[in-house]
Amino acid sequence: MYAHYYGLRELPFGITPDTDYYFAHASQQEALNTLLVAIRMGEGFLKITGEVGTGKTLLCRKLLSTLSRDPGFATAYVPNPYLEPRTLMRALAEEVGLSVSGEETEHALARRLTLRLADVHASGRRLVLCLDEAQAMPDATLEALRLISNLETEKQKLIQIVLFGQPELDERLARHQVRQLRQRIAFSCCLSAFSADDTQSYLRHRLAVAGYTGPPLFTGPAIRVLYRASGGIPRLINILAHKALMAAYGEGARLVHRRHLVRARDDTESLQTRGRGWGFFRSWGHR
């Protein structure tokens, strides 16, 4: 692949969320700071929304990583909350170290979970539960989540809940039947796409993390095509930058030029329409 050719330790534009590549974009950093402040204040429900590909899962993992280094917190993570209420409760119980029996009643599980959360609190820690893709939660599970959030001492919540979801989550929460949950959301943030300048900084950041130390690898015209094609969405930037680097490597070019981004852009669009994507690989497959 092109990593060694460009002096990289690893491929810099993977789409798997990796906190080593966390980029402190304005909306990302504002959201992270808001979450950390609100969590330390003891707020019950927090919400982060953003379009597909804007970095919600990466932000979630960055939050969990940050809290894991703080002895005052314990964390739990549910990546796919499209679960029935009992299954969500089982997932939460397992996250906090409880063994769960298939024969155990929901009431008995809830009681054990409450005692476990009380133990966590007594140890001087607060439990933070992060739920990704929260827009997919069934109504009954949203209500169960609200009831779980009721667990508290006289002065403090036993569990704090952070919801990460697409804009459809706001639509779900705007409905009358979930108004009690909506009223409990103390802080919320919405992640935005990158600007053109952010996109250029993002490219430099990821390349540097991957070990690149040379001159700018992407030319100005290439970055402009990349920004227009991606709309500043990080996941799309990663996909297009990766494919453009492959195209440049296939030509033996030392820089990524506009033509490489045009090819990457056109290939990505054709994969969605005419299915001609494999033609993209012919220029570099022989290397």
Q: Which domains does the chain have, with CATH numbers?
A: 26-191 (3.40.50.300), 195-283 (1.10.8)
Element spanning 266, H or E: helix 258-273
Give the integer Cα–Cα distance in Å for 138 and 105: 21
Q: What is the DSSP letter of 254?
A: S
In this predicted structure, what is the pLDDT of residue 110?
Answer: 85
In this predicted structure, what is the pLDDT of residue 154?
Answer: 64
Task: Give the relative orientation of helices 85-95 and 139-148 as an angle to the nearest 10 degrees.
Answer: 40
Give the pair of three-digit tokens for residue 216.
């700018």
User: The whole model's pTM is what?
Assistant: 0.89
Do 238 and 13 meet the contact criterion of CB atoms below 8 Å apart? yes
Write out the chain's pLDDT in tens, 287 residues.
899 999 999 999 999 999 999 999 999 999 999 999 999 998 879 999 999 999 999 999 999 999 999 999 999 999 988 888 888 888 999 999 998 877 788 888 888 988 999 999 999 999 999 999 999 999 899 988 888 888 776 677 889 999 999 999 999 999 998 999 999 999 999 999 999 999 999 999 999 999 999 999 999 999 999 999 999 999 999 999 999 999 999 999 999 999 999 999 998 863 354 344 444 444 444 44
Q: What is the DSSP letter of 90?
A: H
In this predicted structure, what is the pLDDT of residue 269?
Answer: 63
Give the pair of three-digit tokens for residue 270.
């054709």
Report the amino acid identity of residue 168: E
In this predicted structure, what is the pLDDT of residue 274?
Answer: 36
Q: Among 243, 217, 240, which residue's Cα sits nearest to residue 229?
A: 240
In this predicted structure, what is the pLDDT of residue 276?
Answer: 42
